[in-house]
Amino acid sequence: MKISSQEEYGLRCMLQLARSAPGPMSLAEISRGEGLSSAYAAKLLGQLRDHGLVEAVRGRSGGYSLSRPPEDITVREILSTLGGQLFEERFCHEHNGLGESCVHADSVCNIRSLWEALNEMLSAVLERTTLADLLCYGRVQEKLEEPRRAILSEGSGAQAVN
């Protein structure tokens, strides 16, 4: 799985706003803090504003601020706004080889079931993780320890095939 630069930088901009909450940050402060051009930061913040995650405040002491408290904004919301999901149904129509649709579209596709399972697990993790969690180093690992143990204990019951 790859996280796009748009998703990475957008998440980082959101973290800056979470650190400065409740006051707004100027576009110049945000772009300088992340080493981004003002135009690129404005594009990201525009997308986040259009989806209700940030608010633009006009005026001399204006800028951008979070639309909700950091503990109410999930990483899943942010990444979905900026890039989408790991696996979407249209995937099979976009990777169809020489045909109009995937050759497995009308049958059981073992690979599709893998992508769907990974998407489900990743979405669950991202939905459980908030901006507030990311602000506290180590909190994400603590929150994910229980699901991680469950996955590892499931895997430990499997027999090795020689």
CA atoms within 13 A on the CB side of 27: 16
| Residue 18 Cα to chain centre, angstroms | 16
Structure-token match 């404005």, residue found: 42
Q: Residue 54, Cβ neighbours under 10 Å: how many?
A: 27
Residue 48: how many CB atoms within 10 A of its CB?
Answer: 25
User: What string of pLDDT tens digits covers the 162 residues of the chain?
Assistant: 577 889 999 999 999 999 987 889 999 999 999 999 999 999 999 999 999 999 998 888 789 999 999 999 999 999 999 987 665 665 665 655 566 666 555 666 677 777 778 878 888 888 889 999 998 876 777 767 766 676 667 765 544 444
Residues 6+ apart with CB under 8 A from 68: 53
Give, in order, the Cα–Cα distances in Å from 15 to each of 9, 92, 114.
Answer: 10, 34, 31
Confidence at residue 104, expressed as pLDDT on a 0 to 100 scale: 59
**Residue 54 three-state SS:** strand
In a domain, 98, yes or no: yes
Query: Is position 89 within any domain?
Result: yes
| Structure tokens given for 42 | 């404005």
Confidence (pLDDT) at 38: 95
Assess if residue 161 is contained within a domain: no
- CA–CA separation, 38 vs 45, rounded Å? 10
pLDDT of residue 162: 42
The pLDDT of residue 7? 93
CA–CA distance, 65 with 21 (Å, rounded to integer): 7
The whole-number pLDDT of residue 160 equals 46
User: What is the domain-level CATH number for residue 11?
Assistant: 1.10.10.10
- Counting the structural domains of the chain, the total is 1
Has residue 116 been placed in a domain?
yes
* Angle at the Cα of 121 from the Cα atoms of 119 and 127, rounded to 5 degrees: 95
Distance, CA of 70 to CA of 65 (rounded, Å) = 11
The reply to whether 33 falls in a domain is yes
Residue 123 within a domain: yes
Tell whether 162 is covered by a domain: no
Q: What is the pLDDT of residue 130?
A: 92
Does residue 149 lie in a domain region? yes
The Cα–Cα gap between 88 and 144 comes to: 24
Which tens digits make up the pLDDT trace of 103-148?
555 666 677 777 778 878 888 888 889 999 998 876 777 767 766 6
- Domain span at residue 79? 5-156
Q: pTM score, two decimals? A: 0.75
